[in-house]
Chains A and B, each alone.
Chain A
Amino acid sequence: MAKFQSLKDAVAENLRDGDTVAFEGFTHLIPHAAAHEAIRQGRRDLTLIRMTPDIIYDQMIGMGLAKTVIFSYAGNPGVGLLRRMRDAIENEWPRAIETVEHSHAAMANAYEAGAAGLPCAVFRGYRGAGLKDVNPAIKSVTCPFTGEELAAVPAHRPDVSFIHAQKANRRGDVLVEGIVGVQKEALLAAKRAVVTVEEIVEDFDDLHPNLCVLPHWTVTAIAHVPGGAHPSYTHGYYPRDNAAYLEWDKISADRDLFTTWMKANVLDVSPEVFASRVEAL
């Protein structure tokens, strides 16, 4: 049953050291505010799952929260490489991390299998691909009906998933629209689900009947954090702050600059700053 609480309390109650956690969002609706709260609370030894680990995982890895990263594309979208993640992989700074690498198809299928309560996902993939040789979690099964060899990967079953969404109603039902990504699957695959929202409205009575709504009983906690996806965007609320993504390339290129930036913009602030960050957009 969805519990309305502050982001600080929602993170404190649902994210523990050593957890396997997904902060999902596919360019759109990336839960930046929730990730920053996890950084402020200093969680450790996390296994981070994400199709497209971008700035927030770069920040979490650079601040030493991550033990393992399970991913399929580690880049700053449209800009370049993830410099903090590279520094951890190439130079073990600030600590060594383990990487478990998949393709997008495998990750999407693994979330869907998790949401469906299956132990693994089966799909036509990885043919001729080198990842099969370096990731022991990629296996194959033979179709019992046709004999076709198909790829199999374990289902994702995060301890907790964090997503950002447009709206919740007073009951705690959650609306996601626009590029919906893999958030519904990530949330339903997880043991606990925390959602930050732009807005809390009375009810969803006037909505189109087929919109993506996650019923309140699938959500553990909801925190009202306007602007909580910035510099990602929320369809219908504010656009993507492309300049901030470009700027991150410079900030993340230098360890000292990164550390100073994180102190000023993450450690020393609270979730309320996100609303002001999107005002000028």
Chain B
Amino acid sequence: MPTLTAATPLPTTDEEIWRYSRIGELDLDRFTPTAADTDVRGGAGIEIDHAATGDALDVIGRLTGDAAPDVFAALNLEHASPTLITVPAGRVVEQPVVVTHMVRGSDEAVFPRLVIDAGADSEITVVEVFTSEPDSTSLVVPVVQIRAGQAARVRYLAVNELGERVWSIGHQQALGERDSQLLVATVALGGDYARVRTDVRLSGAGASAKQVALYFAGGTQMHDFRTIQDHDAPHTHSDLLFKGAVQDHSRSVYTGLIKIREHARGTAAFQTNRNLTLSEGAWAESVPNLEIETNDVKCSHASTVGPIDEEQRFYLESRGVPPSVAERLVVLGFFDEVLSQLPAGDLATDLRARVAAKLSIGDDPR
């Protein structure tokens, strides 16, 4: 069976964008490239193509001239199992399109590649779900590319419900053209080591992007997020809210960069990352960065890492709520700010229940 080989060596944690990662544990030789098992629901009346090749699969590279940003994005292009969703100009797709990848087997490598090409003034919501057999030891290297054409409204949500032995190294790239509105959301509950890098580039004046994420690791899981808010045009607006929690011996990393290019005057960019450490043995890191090349901007970032707020817990306990129940309420309340912004409302209710079920607080009897 052919094993996986990369054209260039794997990165190391010496590179800033891989700092704190578990990249050193990855052995590509172990994996066999396999076609993804993908199911698509919804999207009646629009073109969904699983046979696309070449340039059609690299809408971002075609428009920006940028090469695949790293070895994993390159591997994805080489082995891609494509889903290309093309929304014609002016078309409003009412119901969310749900793309589900089922990861099976042991030591397989799958490369789902989702391309959402939304024409001018179109509107679409796409939910991409990653799920697996519970004991799968496979590797997922997904890429999603989103182009929001002029004044298009595109909402995307990735949901990671992978088993706790699956590795995932994902890349989300979005490009917002003039006056477009992007929502790029991620909910990560699964995976052993699960990394998502998100690059959102606003290339047209008046474009705006909202990025939200909820991540919650337990056991020995690690969630790893890298975000870039790239302002490449004047009067662009980005707002990022990432909230995570770690329990047991799990870990999480968030590093975020706001990049405002010289010609992006009149831009506003905000970045907030908040982390709850729910156990002594859990660890979270948060590293915000700014790179601003012009003066006429409004920019802020905030980041926190810490346990559940003692005042909040005491307030609930003082009403007669037992500590474990109080903590559960506070954690679910903490995530509510993200859940309430997810594009598919029904799904948010379901995800809230999954978060509640995963919380190990209160597993002991009252």
> Does B bind A?
no
